[in-house]
Amino acid sequence: MLTTSKRAWGLVMLLMVVALLVGACAGVNAPAAAPAENGAPAAAAFKVGLVHPSPVTDAWSGQAYAAIERMRDELGAEIANVEVGDPAGYEKAFSDFASQGYTLVIGHGFQYQDAAAKVSPDFPDTYFTTVGGDKTTANFAPIDLVPGYMQALYAMGVMAGEVSQTKQAAGFTLENPATKLPLEGFRQGFESIPGNTFSMIVLRDGNDVGAGKEAALQAMAGGADILIANANLAGDGVLQAVAEQGDDTVFAIGTIGDQTSKAPQNILASAPLNIPQALFAVAQAAKDGSFQGNSVRQFTVNDAGVYPFVYNPALAGIVTPEMQALVDETIAKLKAGEITVEMPQ
Amino acid sequence: MTTVTLSRQTGATLWRNIALPLLAILAALLVGALMLALSGFDVAAAYGALWSGIFGNARNIGEALLRATPLILVGAGIAIAFRCGIWNIGAEGQFYMGAAAGAFVGLQAGALSPWLAIPTALLAGALCGGLWAAIAGWLKVRLGLNEVVTTIMLNYIAIGIVGYLVTGPMQEASRYNPQTDEIAAGMVLPRLLPGMRVHAGFLLALLLPVLASILLFRTPWGFALRAVGYNPVAAQHAGIRVNRQYVLAISLSGALAGVAGAVEVLGVIGRLYENISPGYGFTGIAVSLLAANHPIGVIFSGLLFGALTTGAELMQLTAQIPSSMTFILQGLIIAFLVSFRALQGRVWPRG
Amino acid sequence: MEWLIGLQALLQATVRMAAPLTFTAVGETYGERAGVINIGLEGLMLIGAVTAYAVAFASGNVWLGVFAAGLAAATFGVLFGVVTITLGANQIVAGAALNLIGLGLSSFIYRAFFGSVTNRAIQPLETVKIPLLNQIPVVGPVLFEQNLLVYAALLLAPLAALVLNRTMLGLALRSVGEHPKATATAGLSVIGLRYAAVAFGGMMAGIGGAYLSVAYANQFVENMVAGRGFIALAIVVFGRWSPLGALWASLLFGFTFALQLRLQAQSIPIAYQFLQILPYVATIVAMILLRGQSAQPKALGVPYTERT
C-alpha cells in the first residue's frame, strides 16, 4: 500500500530466499553421505517399515502393527512405523524408508498403491507391498485380502441368516472396497436363505462413533436383528448400540479383530482378519530374497489361518455346534468351489 | 471485524513482519518443548528431527515446498475474501470442486498438447471452484443468507458430490476402488528440480499471490473491494456496488481454491478420490490469517505450515512424537503472533 | 403401528443428535450476543471430549468427567478471552488457532497417555426414564427416556433464553454486544461481561464434546467431533442468535441426519451420497424459507478498548 511497506516486504522475501538457499545447500550436501549408508548395510540388517493411515490403537492399523511386531520377534526384523493420512505425503513416506535401506516397506491400505508403484522403481533393493491394490512393479507386489474375506463373511452371513428371526440384517461400512466388499460377501450369504434381506449403510466418517451408533439404532428400529459393521471406529458405535439395546434379540458379527468384549452378550461370533499371518509370508519372502514382484497375492479361505472365526461362548445356546458345523460346511463348499461369491456390479 | 493494515513506518513494519513472527515461532516451540518434556518425550531429539525433517536434505526441502503449494493457493484466495469482509469458510468444498474439474479435464484431454490441456484443466478447476463459491455469494446478496453457514454446508455437499462422482460416473474403468482412473501421463505437472517432488504448481503458488496482491492494492477494483471490507455502509455511500464486490470477491477466492484442487490432482495425486484434501480449506484460513490476509505474506505462512508438516513426519518416525504435534505448533504460532501484534498495537499505537 | 415405532426411533435419534449441538450453540450464542465470535468450537469440543474421557477413565466417575470437561474448555475459553478481549486480537484468527490447538492437543493427550492402554472403554451415562411421562405414546420415549445430559440440553435452551431476555444479566450481555460504549457508560464492565460470556461458551462447548465421548460413546476417538463444532457455528447464525432458535436448528439438523441414516437402512434406490448431504441441503433450504431480518449483534467481532 505504501512504498515503505513494499520495501519491507521485499526484504522479508529476500531473507526467506536466502534462508531457503542456505538450507538447500546444506541439504544438497547431505545425500552425498547417504549412498554409503544405502549400499553397505543392505545385506546386514533386515528392516521393515510400515506406513499406516490411522493410530495403531485402532483395529485396522493395530493389525498391521501386530504384523511387524511378529516380524521383529520371529524374523529378527528392525521395525519402524509412521502414520501418514495425508495423500500428498504418501510417496515421501515410502521413499524415506527405502532411502534408509529398509528391506521391506508395507503400506497398510489400497490408497498407498499409487505411491508404492511410483517410488519402487527408484529403489530396486527394497521390496514394497500394500494391503489392497492391483498395481505392481518388479519389486512391488500388493496383497489382496478381500476375496477371502468376502468368502469368510459369506459363511458368517449363512449362519446369521439362520439365526435371524426378522430375516433382516444391516451392514455398516465406509466407502472403500476393503471395508465395503466383505459386507457384500456377507449379504450374499445372508440372502442365500430365502426371504432374507440385507441393507447397507455407508457412513461418512470412520471416526464418528456417534453416527455409527445412530445408524445402528435406525436399522434396529427398521427391523434388522443382525448387525455387522466394517467401518473402523464408527463400527464401535454400532456395537455399542447393540450392547445397550437391552433385550437379547439383536445380535452382531464382529469384524477385523475379535470384538466379543465390545458387546459380550450380543456378538454371535467374530471373523478376524489375520493380517499378521498374511503379511508374515511376505516378510519371509523379502528376507530370503524369494519376493515375487509383478504379481498380486490374492488370499482366499484356502490360505490357512488368515480367516479364523471366534465364537462367543456366552451365546453357545444360539451358536450351537450344529450352527458351527454349518459354517465349516459352507467354508468347505467355498474351498471346493461349490459356492462362489460374486463381485457386485 | 478489523483488517490489519501495514504500519506506516518501515521500522515498525520490519518489526511487525519479521521479528514478531520469529518471536511467535520461538514462543510456540518453547511451549511445545514444555509439553513434550511434561509428557516424557526427548525434546532435543524431537526438535532435531523436526529440523532435519525440513532441512535435512534436498528432498525434504522440495517436500516442504510441495506441501506448501495448496496451502498458499487456498490461503491467497481466503485473503481476498476476508479483505472484502466476506467470511468464506468454504474453501474445502471449493478445493474439491476444482479437483473434480481438473481431474475431469485431465482424464479427457490426454490427446491434446499439454501446453493446451494443462492450462485448460487449471482453468476448469478455477471455474468450478469459483462457481461453487459464487453460490454462497449469490445466496448472501440476493437472499440475505449468512455466508458462514452456507459455505460450511456447501463444503459437505461438495464432498458428497465428489464421493458420488468417484463411485458413479467418473469411477475407474475396473469399477473397484472409489477413485477415477489416473490422468493421462502428459497431464502430470512437470517437476521443477531433479530429486525433488516439487512441481510446476509451486510456481503458480508464487505467481498467483503476487497477482492477487497487485489486484488488491494496485487497482481501483481492489480498492473498492477493500473499502467494502473496511466499511460496507460507507462504501455503498461512496457509490461502490457492494453486493457485486461480495460476489466477485468470494468467486475469486473460490477460483484460487479450485486451482489448488486442480494443481493437487495434476501435480501430486494423479487422480481424484474422496479424501484427497486433509483439510487444506481449513488450514488455508489459518495460513491467510497468519499473514494478516496479505496474499504475499501467505507465501511465507504457507511455506512455514508446509515445512512444519514435513518436519513432523520425521519427528514422528525417529522420536515417536504423535503427528498431532504439528497442529499444536501451528495453532500456538498463530495464537502468539496475533497476541504479539495486538500487544504491539497497544504499546506503540499506530499514529 | 410399525410406522409409529419407526417415527419414534427417528425422533429419539433427533433429540440425541441435537443435544451436543444445542449445548455448544447455546454457549456460542451467549458469546456472540456479547460481541465475541469464537470459531474455535470444534477445538473446544475436542478438548471437552478428551478431558471427559480421561477423567472418567481415571476416576471411574462419568459426572466428574463431564464437570472436568466443562472446566477445561472454560479455561481455554478464558485463554481465548485473554487474547481477544484483553489484548484485542482478531477473534477469527484466535478462533482458528484454537481449532488447531484443540485438534492437536486432544490427539496428543490421548496418544501420550492412552496409546498403550488396551481396554479403553468406560461405563457410559445411563438412560434415566421419567416415570409416568414416559408412558405417553411417542412423545414419552422421545422426551422422557434419555440420559441426563439430553434433559440438560433440552432445559438449557429455554433457561438460557429466559436469562438472556428477561433478566438484568441478559440485558447487560445483549447491550455489550450491541453498544459496548453505552454499557460502559452505564457503569458495567464490558471486559468482565465478555469474559463471563466466553467462559460460559467454552464450558458449554466442553460439555457438548463430553457428551460425545461419555454419553454417546464410551471412548474417545481422535477427531470424533467430526465437524459438529462447525455445524454448531452455523446453527448459531441459523438460529438467529437466540437460544431457542439454536435448539430448533439443532433439532432440524438432528432430524435430517437421522432421516438419511434411516433411508439408507431402507435400501432406498438413491446414491447414498445424496442421502448423506441431506442435512446440509436441508439447512440451506430452511434458511431460504425462513429468511428475514438478520439479528446479528452490531458489535460482533469488534474488540473493545476504553480509548476508542
- Same domain for A188 and A233, yes or no, is yes
Cell of A256: 477385523
pLDDT top residue among A299 and B317: A299
Give me the interface pTM, i.e. the ipTM.
0.90
Question: For chain A, how big is the Rg over CA atoms in Å?
Answer: 24
Instruction: Report DSSP state, residue A193.
Output: S
CA distance B197 to chain C (A): 27
CA A272 to chain centre: 11
CA distance C204 to chain B (A): 20
The tally of domains found in chain C comes to: 1
Q: Which domain holds residue A183?
A: 146-272+312-336
**Is residue B155 less than 8 Å (CB to CB) from chain A?**
no
Name the residue among C197, C253, C178 with its Cα closest to residue C20: C253
Chain A residues within 8 angstroms (CB to CB) of chain B = 1-2, 4-5, 7-9, 11-13, 15-16, 20, 23-24, 26-28, 30-31, 34, 80, 82-89, 91-93, 95-96, 99, 110-111, 114, 134, 175-177, 345
- Same domain for A260 and A282, yes or no, is no
What is the C-alpha separation between A49 and A94, in angstroms, rounded? 9
- Same domain for A172 and A207, yes or no, is yes
| 3-class state of residue A237 by DSSP | helix
- Could you tell me the end-to-end alpha-carbon distance of chain B, in angstroms, rounded to an integer? 20
- Same domain for A249 and A157, yes or no, is yes
- Same domain for A90 and A153, yes or no, is no
Contact B289 C103 (CB under 8 A): no
Q: Which candidate in C24, C256, C261, C267 is best for mutational testing of the A interface (most A CBs within 10 A)?
A: C261
Chain A: touching chains (3 or more CB pairs < 8 Å): B, C
Question: For chain B, how big is the Rg over CA atoms in Å?
Answer: 21
Query: Residue A253 pairs with which residues in a beta bridge?
Result: A228, A269
Contact B174 A134 (CB under 8 A): yes
Q: Which domain holds residue C253?
A: 2-115+132-289
Residue C188 lies in a domain: yes
Cell of A141: 507386489
pLDDT at C270 (0 to 100): 87
Chain C: touching chains (3 or more CB pairs < 8 Å): A, B
| 3-class state of residue A36 by DSSP | helix
Residue A93 lies in a domain: yes
- Same domain for A195 and A318, yes or no, is yes
Confidence of residue B347 (pLDDT cuts 50, 70, 90): low
pLDDT at B348 (0 to 100): 60
Domains and CATH numbers, chain B: 69-341 (1.10.3470)
Which regions in chain A score pLDDT beneath 70? 1-44
What is the C-alpha separation between B274 and B283, in angstroms, rounded? 18
Q: Which of B157, B325, B338 sits opposite C104 (nearest CB)?
A: B325
- Same domain for A45 and A139, yes or no, is yes
- Same domain for A249 and A321, yes or no, is yes
Query: Residue A127 pairs with which residues in a beta bridge?
Result: A104
Contact B286, C42 (CB under 8 A): no
Instruction: Report DSSP state, residue B268.
Output: I
Give per-residue pLDDT as tens, B236-275: 999 999 999 999 999 999 999 999 999 999 999 999 998 8
| 3-class state of residue C241 by DSSP | coil
CB contacts under 8 A, A 176-235 vs C, are 197, 199-202, 204-205, 207-211, 213-215, 217-222, 224, 233
Give per-residue pLDDT as tens, C33-73: 999 999 999 999 999 999 999 999 999 999 999 999 999 99
Residue C305 lies in a domain: no
pLDDT at C1 (0 to 100): 64
Number of CB pairs, chain A paired with chain C, less than 8 A apart = 98
Query: Residue A229 pairs with which residues in a beta bridge?
Result: A172
State which H helix or E strand residue C26 sits in. helix C2-33
pLDDT(C308) > 60: no
What number of CA atoms fall less than 13 Å from residue C270's CA on the CB side?
14
Mean pLDDT of chain C: 91
- Same domain for A128 and A207, yes or no, is no
Residue A27 lies in a domain: no
Q: Which candidate in C78, C79, C93, C257 is best for mutational testing of the B interface (most B CBs within 10 A)?
A: C93
Q: Mean pLDDT: which of A50-59, B20-29, B127-136, C265-274 is highest?
A: B127-136
Q: What angle do CA C24, C27, C32 make, to 5 degrees?
A: 115
Query: Residue A50 pairs with which residues in a beta bridge?
Result: A81, A106
pLDDT at A160 (0 to 100): 97
CA distance A77 to chain C (A): 22
What is the C-alpha separation between A140 and A136, in angstroms, rounded? 5
Supply the DSSP string of C72-107, one letter for each residue.
HHHHHHHHHHIIIIIS---HHHHHHHHHHHHHHHHH
Q: For A56, name the nearest residue in chain B, comparing CA atoms only.
A: B322
pLDDT at B99 (0 to 100): 98
- Same domain for A282 and A267, yes or no, is no
Domain of A75, CATH number, reads 3.40.50.2300
Q: What angle do CA C39, C40, C46 make, to 5 degrees?
A: 145
Cell of C131: 416415570
Question: For chain C, how big is the Rg over CA atoms in Å?
Answer: 20
Domain of C276, CATH number, reads 1.10.3470
Query: Residue A272 pairs with which residues in a beta bridge?
Result: A256
A-chain CB neighbours of B323 within 8 Å are: 83
- Same domain for A128 and A99, yes or no, is yes
CA B24 to chain centre: 20
Assign 3-class secondary structure to chain A.
Answer: CCHHHHHHHHHHHHHHHHHHHHHHHHHHHHHHHHHHHHHHHHCCCCEEEEEECCCCCCHHHHHHHHHHHHHHHHHCCEEEEEECCCHHHHHHHHHHHHHCCCCEEEECCHHHHHHHHHHHHHCCCCEEEEECCCCCECCECCEECHHHHHHHHHHHHHHHHHHCCCCEEEEEECCCHHHHHHHHHHHHHHCCCCCCEEEEEECCCCCCHHHHHHHHHHHHHCCCCEEEEECCCHHHHHHHHHHHCCCCCCEEEEEECCCHHHCCCCEEEEEECCHHHHHHHHHHHHHHCCCCCCCCEECCCCCCCCCCCEECHHHCCCCCHHHHHHHHHHHHHHHHCCCCCCCCC
Average pLDDT over residues B298-319: 91
Give per-residue pLDDT as tens, C200-237: 999 999 999 999 999 888 899 988 998 899 899 989 98
* C189-C191-C193-C197 Cα dihedral, nearest 10 degrees: 180
Exposure pattern of C205-219 as b/e (b: 16+ CB <10 Å)?
bbbbbbbbbbbbbbb
pLDDT at A40 (0 to 100): 40
Contact C266, A222 (CB under 8 A): yes
pLDDT at B10 (0 to 100): 60
Strands A168-173 and A127-130: unpaired
Contact A215 C264 (CB under 8 A): yes
Residue C50 lies in a domain: yes
- Same domain for A64 and A117, yes or no, is yes
The tally of domains found in chain A comes to: 2
Q: Which candidate in C221, C231, C260 is best for mutational testing of the A interface (most A CBs within 10 A)?
A: C221
CB contacts under 8 A, B 90-129 vs A, are none
pLDDT at A39 (0 to 100): 39
- Could you tell me the end-to-end alpha-carbon distance of chain C, in angstroms, rounded to an integer? 65
Distances (CA, A) of A241 to A118, A201, A267, C251: 43, 15, 12, 21
